[in-house]
Every structure is written in structure tokens, then in C-alpha cells.
């Protein structure tokens, strides 16, 4: 007789196929090794020749006029903020559900984050929760295409145009993705992204800024790229300042990263296409299973999930008699798959965004410069605060290997269909779910 018990109850795990290379990332070949060795043997680690080549190729791929390589995504976003003119007493509207580097750098510019809630289906900023937060100090909207899903750019751009705001896109989770047929990172005034090795576009420690706006590009250069802040700069008010970085930062990309990036670029679109095939297959197999929903875009819209960075599912506990996502995920893990409850913790609940006086202003840094009471207490962003009990992380398949993917989807299906066996000893969710960052997967 077939033993159909859940693995957490002593039954056989659903995942029987070995994972092989299906989760390995990045895919490094002798082509990468040779590119890095060339940099090392030339002693060119600190130059910019390879970086400039990478920037030119990246800009052509992205479809933009300027690309600026940085040593991290955090640095690229810092440059994008300064490039957009964010300064003292300005406000940036940003989703609370994101990694801290979408926004925290604005403190060092004397600016203030203002958080908007997210849409519970896309997990990106809710365009309907932006406009009422705009004040005469709002300078920019920071849009994050969160865990691969494109944000709803049409209404966001409409709001920005009507209020004369800059739009910065954080494309760290969605390099190469599309919204209604158009490349992410080409909607706003400027975009910036992480290319660290956990991302789908995995280079090492690196970041990239892209824009069509010459002044934004030159301000970004002036902020953290001292050796390129020279006679090539055309923006009149920047020219007398040439030679020293305005931000006191050194944000140059390491050329071993640039070399890896050039090779990655050649293969990235094709690798993403395979990831999308694999991830869509996983979700297609789970269509109609109660309690779980795909976090993905419909093909018919012309939008794509790019490399499907850190994929997640949406959890509907009401369909499973209130079973906690924590216990659900434990049971899936026992079946031999990967599942963790929650995503990022909402930033507005951390002390750094509330009470902490970092620089000695004598008041919380969050509001050290602001003219308004911008405090956002618990309860102020209900969707963001609830979302960790309604999301779970899923396996990130890098190859289309149907037999392996079938086993993993069977693990999720089995747990969802046997949920009643888990209700009696469900400990519920802990007080806090999710993390300030995503730790590395197995």
C-alpha cells in the first residue's frame, strides 16, 4: 500500500530526485576564469578600462544612453539619489517592504524616507498609496521591482509627472525584466541595481546605474567616481568642482567584477529564459491547489519576471482553515523541498527608522531635517505589516529539468492537500516573520 502520510508525520518525502545542478548559481565557466585572470595578470584590478567596456555593453543591452559601474548596488542607488537632486529636507517615497539599501542611503543626504504600502499581489509599491503622501518636500519616488515582479509603472509615472517628481527604479531583483513589453529600469529618470552574486544578474560585489539623463549621470559620477570627474564633465555647475568626489565616496567597480559582468551579459538573457520556463512549469503544476498562489505575471501582458530572483508564493491561510505559513513551510521542508515563511521585514518598524539618533542631531535621524511629522508607527502600513504571514519562499530553479521540478511541486501540493493533518499541532506564526535580508539558500 502506498504511504501517503506527510513526511513530517513519518511518510516518505515527496522529493526523491537528487537536485543535481538545478540550484547552482552563478554558472561559472572557463570563460569567466580567463576574464578574471586577464585582469589579475595585467594588474588592472583598480582601473576603469574593463568597467567602461562593461558599461557600454550594459547600456546597449539595457537600451539607455549612460551606464555607470559601481562597487555595490547600495553605492549605485546612493549615486542615483544624489544624481536625482535629493538633498537636505527632501522626502523620498519608498515601499517599506524592501531591502534597506533601496532607501537608507538618503539619510546621508539629509533626506527623509516616507513609506508607502504595497500591493498584496505584486508585493511592489501600491500606486494607490502614493499620492496622499506627497508634500512640497517630496523629491522622488523609489520604485522596487520586488522579488522579480514588475511594479505597476503606468500609474506611478502618471503620479510622478503630475507632481513633478523624479522616479528612481531599484532593479536589483529584476534585471532584464519587462513591464508591458518595456525593459524595467527605462521608465524612471534613473535606475540602479545590485549585481552581487546572490542576484539573478550575478557578478560579485557590484552595482550599475543607468539613465538617459546626462545631468543625472554626471552628478552620479561627481558624487563617487573621482577619477572620472574630469574634463569629460559637461554640466556647467559641476565643472569647477572636478577632481574631488562631492559625496566623499569611492564607488568604483572592482575590475574583476567588471570582467565577470561582461561574460555574464553574453549569457544572461538565455539563462533567464530557461529560469522562466522552469519557474512557470513549477507554478503551472500547482494551479488550483488551495492555499497557495503563484507570484508571477501573466504572459499576455508583455511583462516578465526576468531571472525570477528569490521567488516567492502567496499564501491564503483562510483556504487552509487558518494553518500558519510557518507550519506549512516546515511541512514542505520535511518533504525535501525549500520553503521558508515570509520575505523582508517592513523597514518602518525598525528602530533605525523611528527612534535612533545616528549622527547626533539630538532627535531621530528619520526626522532630523524634515519639516513635517513623518513618523509611521506600527499599524500605519497594514499590508506590509501582514504580508510575512501571507508569503513563503520557494525553490529557485536555474534549469528546466521537469522530473526534479515535478517532485518539488508535489511537495507543496501534498502539504496543501493534507493540511488538516497539521492543524492540531500548529504552533502558529512567531511574533515576527521574515528577515532584514535574505540569507543564502542551500
Ligand X SMILES: Cc1ncc(COP(=O)(O)O)c(C=O)c1O
**Phi, psi at 301, each rounded to 5°:** -80, -15
Nearer to ligand X, 265 or 334 (CB): 265
Site string for ligand X, 110-149 (x = CB under 6 A): ----------------------------------x-----
Helix (H) or strand (E) holding 392: strand 391-393
210 contributes a contact to ligand X by CB under 6 A: no
The binder of ligand X chosen from 48, 62, 74, 324 (CB under 6 A): 74
**Residues 153, 167: Cα–Cα separation, whole Å:** 10
Q: Under the criterion CB under 6 A, does residue 72 sit at the interface with ligand X?
A: yes
Q: Which CB, 80 or 292, lies closer to ligand X?
A: 80
Least CB distance to ligand X at residue 193 (A) = 7
Alpha carbon of residue 326 to chain centroid: 23
Of the candidates 25, 58, 99, 396, which one interacts with ligand X according to CB under 6 A?
99
Name which of 193 and 381 has its Cβ closer to ligand X: 193
> Which is closer to ligand X, CB of 144 or CB of 320?
144
- Among the residue ranges 66-74, 211-219, 272-280, 285-293, the one whose residues contact ligand X (CB under 6 A): 66-74
Tell me how far, at minimum, the Cβ of 400 lies from ligand X, in Å. Answer: 25
> Is residue 102 near ligand X by the rule CB under 6 A?
yes
Residue-wise burial string across 257-290, b where 16 or more C-beta atoms lie within 10 A, e elsewhere: bbbbbbbbbeebeebbeebbebbbbbbebbeebe
Any contact of residue 257 with ligand X (CB under 6 A)?
no
Output 201 or 412, the one with its CB closest to ligand X. 201
- The answer to whether 51 contacts ligand X (rule: CB under 6 A) is no
Which of these segments, 34-42, 57-65, 165-173, 286-294, binds ligand X (CB under 6 A)?
165-173
Q: Are 97 and 384 in contact (CB under 8 A)?
A: yes
| Shortest spacing between CB 253 and ligand X, in angstroms | 11
Output the residue with the shortest Cβ distance to ligand X. 73
Question: Which residue in this structure is represented by grid cell 540602479?
Answer: 192
Among 68, 101, 320, 353, binds ligand X (CB under 6 A): 101
CB of 299 to ligand X, least distance (A): 25
Burial of 359 (0-12, 13-18, 19+ CB in 10 A): exposed
In the list 48, 96, 194, 365, the residue contacting ligand X (rule: CB under 6 A) is: 194
Residue 72: CB minimum distance to ligand X, A: 3
Pairing of strands 112-116, 91-95: parallel
**Cell for 225?**
567616481
For residue 215, the tally of other CB atoms under 10 A from its CB is 17
* Residue of 150, 204, 207, 341 interacting with ligand X (CB under 6 A): 207
Name the strands in the sheet holding 91-95, side by side, starting at the edge strand that comes first in the sequence.
66-70, 207-211, 190-194, 166-170, 138-144, 91-95, 112-116
Please count the CA atoms within 13 angstroms of the CA of 234 that sit on its side-chain side: 5
Using a 10 angstrom Cβ sphere, with 0-12 exposed, 13-18 middle and 19 or more buried, the burial of residue 112 is buried
Where are the strands (E) in 126-251, listed by range? 138-144, 166-170, 178-179, 182-183, 190-194, 207-211
Q: Which residues bind ligand X (CB under 6 A)?
A: 72-74, 77, 98-99, 101-102, 144, 170, 172-173, 194, 196, 207
Amino acid at each position: 500500500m502506498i504511504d501517503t502520510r506527510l513526511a513530517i508525520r513519518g511518510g516518505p518525502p515527496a522529493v526523491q530526485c537528487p537536485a543535481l545542478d538545478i540550484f547552482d548559481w552563478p554558472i561559472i565557466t572557463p570563460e569567466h576564469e580567463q576574464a578574471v585572470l586577464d585582469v589579475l595578470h595585467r594588474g588592472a584590478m583598480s582601473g576603469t578600462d574593463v568597467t567602461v567596456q562593461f558599461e557600454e555593453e550594459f547600456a546597449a543591452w539595457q537600451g539607455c544612453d549612460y551606464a555607470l559601474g559601481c562597487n555595490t548596488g547600495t553605492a549605485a542607488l546612493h549615486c542615483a539619489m544624489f544624481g536625482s537632486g535629493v538633498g537636505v529636507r527632501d522626502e523620498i517615497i519608498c515601499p517599506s517592504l524592501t531591502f534597506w539599501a533601496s532607501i537608507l542611503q538618503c539619510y546621508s543626504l539629509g533626506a527623509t524616507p516616507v513609506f508607502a504600502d504595497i500591493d498584496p499581489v505584486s508585493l511592489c509599491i501600491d500606486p494607490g498609496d502614493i499620492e496622499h503622501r506627497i508634500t512640497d518636500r517630496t523629491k522622488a519616488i523609489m520604485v522596487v521591482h520586488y522579488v522579480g515582479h514588475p511594479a505597476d509603472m503606468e500609474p506611478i509615472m502618471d503620479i510622478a509627472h503630475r507632481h513633478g517628481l523624479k522616479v528612481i527604479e531599484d532593479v536589483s531583483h529584476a534585471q532584464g525584466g519587462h513591464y508591458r513589453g518595456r525593459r524595467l529600469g527605462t521608465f524612471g529618470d534613473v535606475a540602479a541595481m545590485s549585481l552581487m552574486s546572490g542576484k539573478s544578474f550575478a557578478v560579485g560585489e557590484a552595482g550599475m546605474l543607468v539613465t538617459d539623463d546626462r545631468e543625472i549621470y554626471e552628478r552620479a559620477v561627481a558624487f563617487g567616481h573621482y577619477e572620472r570627474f574630469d574634463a569629460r564633465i559637461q554640466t556647467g555647475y559641476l565643472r569647477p568642482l572636478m577632481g574631488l568626489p562631492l559625496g566623499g565616496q569611492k564607488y568604483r567597480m572592482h575590475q574583476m567584477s567588471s570582467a565577470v559582468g561582461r561574460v555574464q551579459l553574453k549569457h544572461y538573457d538565455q539563462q533567464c529564459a530557461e529560469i522562466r520556463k522552469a519557474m512557470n512549469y513549477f507554478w503551472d503544476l500547482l494551479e488550483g491547489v488551495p492555499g497557495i498562489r503563484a507570484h508571477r505575471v501573466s504572459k499576455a501582458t508583455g511583462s516578465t519576471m526576468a531571472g525570477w530572483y528569490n521567488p516567492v508564493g502567496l499564501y491564503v491561510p483562510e483556504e487552509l482553515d487558518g494553518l500558519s505559513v510557518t507550519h506549512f513551510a516546515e511541512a514542505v521542508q520535511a518533504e525535501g523541498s525549500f520553503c521558508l515563511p515570509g520575505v523582508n521585514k517592513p523597514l518602518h518598524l525598525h528602530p533605525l527608522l523611528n527612534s535612533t539618533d545616528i549622527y547626533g542631531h539630538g532627535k531621530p535621524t528619520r526626522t532630523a531635517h524634515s519639516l513635517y511629522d513623518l513618523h509611521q508607527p506600527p499599524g500605519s502600513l497594514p499590508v506590509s505589516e501582514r504580508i510575512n504571514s501571507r508569503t513563503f519562499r520557494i525553490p529557485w530553479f536555474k534549469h528546466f529539468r521537469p522530473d526534479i521540478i515535478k517532485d518539488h511541486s508535489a511537495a507543496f501540493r501534498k502539504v496543501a492537500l493534507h493540511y488538516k493533518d497539521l492543524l492540531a499541532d500548529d504552533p502558529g506564526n512567531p511574533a515576527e516573520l521574515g528577515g532584514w535580508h535574505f540569507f543564502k539558500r542551500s
